Amino acid sequence: MDTLLTADVAARNPRERRRSSTYVDAIHDMPENGELAPAQLYSTESGRLFHSGRIVIVTVGLPARGKTHLSVALARYLRWLGVKTQVFHLGDYRRAHVGPGKDVPEDYFHVDASPASVLMRQKILKKCRDDIYFFLNNEKGQVAIYDAVNPLAAGRRSLAKEFSKHDAQTLFIESACDDEKIIEENVRSVKISSPDYIGWDEKDAVKHYLARMRAKIPHFETMEEPDLNYIKMINAGERITVNNCTFGYLSHRIVFYLLNLHIKSRHTYFARAGTSSEEDSYKADANLSEQGAEYARKMGETLLAHRDKERQAMIHRGGPDVPLKPLTVWTSTRRRTVETSQYLYEKGYRVRQRSQMSQLNPGVCEKKSEKRIRMEYPDEVAKHEQDPYHHRYPRAEVSDDLSGCNRWADGLMGWLSRIMISQSA
């Protein structure tokens, strides 16, 4: 795997991009042959899951509605499940076609474009779809995500028919948004930093992008086709509509993921719990030590000071003088983690305890140093180094147990999706 791929190379050569998207989309690569992805149920010789056919996910939506963000997030999730997934961004193919530093004709994004612009669009679309078929037919791909606007109902029906000829189900995901604040935030934070606007003044970039967006609005048709499989996300997940989407395990998994996906921007802070009075004992579930309690206080003070600094910086940049988004603290159910959050709780912040965040039970390795573990369990150490996610020391918990919780959710997921489908019918 070529890990030296840069965004520059990816823009010039979309097929190179597919070799590794680490530097472009920040999606992890698939495991090598013989290895399982973290939440993968099983492996097959073909590399595809038996109980799921080939799927092309087609994004739908006006610019600045979060389609690309959604595509990347979904690809990360499906790869975590062990599904060979690749995103095909039509914008990359457009940039590759015209070359670095160049742009398409002014009317390229208009419905009534000139014959030359229409021909260019067709060439770019053909290149993108050829790569999708190559991925599905020659690279043992199972899910291809086609990231584009796809504004017209007739065009979407044509896509579904075309992909069906290639033995692939089509699932449309529309990202709809009428909240101007969300749209403006997306334009400023994401779109003007795209390769299309390298070297542009921020105000000019925003103006140009909004003009491009307005050119599509009069001709956009929201998804209402009863015969197609689609999921419609409205205002970054405030409301979701599901139509059909009953063609197997993966479709249910995708629905479940989108029901729990957060698209709006937010900050996440990670902190270690303070040290306990019996640091090496898992069974003891000990309280914080004096040093641990002092750490908890200083950590809370540092976090609140950092958030206040962020707020002042936002105001300095011209933002509104309003409080930051509410802070919620998540801890495990272990005493030292709950006590570490006590300072923030006393300051009025909400604290939630989650058993899934608890330390894994070390089993026979409790209170043993790494050196002693290697001496007593050399075979287990070798297995663990080969596959640390799935390997289990005797009487211990393993990271894969947490993904088991997700497998348990399959029944609930299918039930929820059936309810939503019946409501939208």
Active site includes 147? Answer: yes
Listed in sequence order, the residues at least 6 apart from 18 whose beta carbon sits closer than 8 Å to its beta carbon are 86, 131, 135
Report pTM.
0.74
**Site of tokens 């393993």:** 398
Task: Indicate which residue of 25, 92, 131, 147 is catalytic.
Answer: 147
Identify the pLDDT of residue 354: 87
Nearest in space to 407 (alpha carbons), one of 304, 271, 256, 264: 256
> Going from the N-terminus, what domains does the chain have, and what CATH number goes with each?
7-259 (3.40.50.300), 290-403 (3.40.50.1240)
Nearest in space to 355 (alpha carbons), one of 405, 321, 389, 407: 405
Read off the pLDDT of residues 128-179 as tens digits, 9 standing for 90 and up: 999 999 999 998 899 999 999 999 999 999 999 999 999 999 999 999 988 8
Q: How far apart are CA 102 and CA 105, in angstroms?
A: 10
DSSP state of 165: H
Identify the pLDDT of residue 4: 37
Identify the pLDDT of residue 2: 37
Identify the pLDDT of residue 130: 94
Identify the pLDDT of residue 102: 80
Listed in sequence order, the residues at least 6 apart from 243 whose beta carbon sits closer than 8 Å to its beta carbon are 223, 225, 226, 228, 229, 230, 231, 232, 421, 424, 425
Q: List, in sequence order, every beta strand (DSSP E) within 307-364.
A: 328-331, 350-353
Q: How far apart are CA 287 and CA 274, in angstroms?
A: 9
Identify the pLDDT of residue 35: 61
Identify the pLDDT of residue 410: 47
Q: Are strands 230-234 and 239-243 parallel, antiparallel or unpaired?
A: antiparallel
236-to-58, 180, 233, 332, 341 alpha-carbon distances in Å: 17, 12, 6, 29, 30
Would you write out the chain's pLDDT as a tens digit for each of its 425 residues? 333 344 454 445 545 444 444 445 666 666 665 566 666 665 666 666 666 689 999 999 988 888 888 898 899 889 888 888 999 999 889 888 888 778 788 788 777 788 999 999 999 999 999 999 999 999 889 999 999 999 999 999 999 999 999 999 999 999 998 887 777 777 776 656 667 777 777 778 777 777 777 776 677 899 999 999 999 998 877 889 999 887 778 888 888 888 887 766 678 899 999 998 887 778 888 899 999 999 999 999 999 999 999 889 878 877 678 888 889 999 999 999 999 999 999 999 999 998 888 888 889 998 888 899 999 999 999 998 888 888 899 998 887 777 655 544 444 444 443 333 333 33
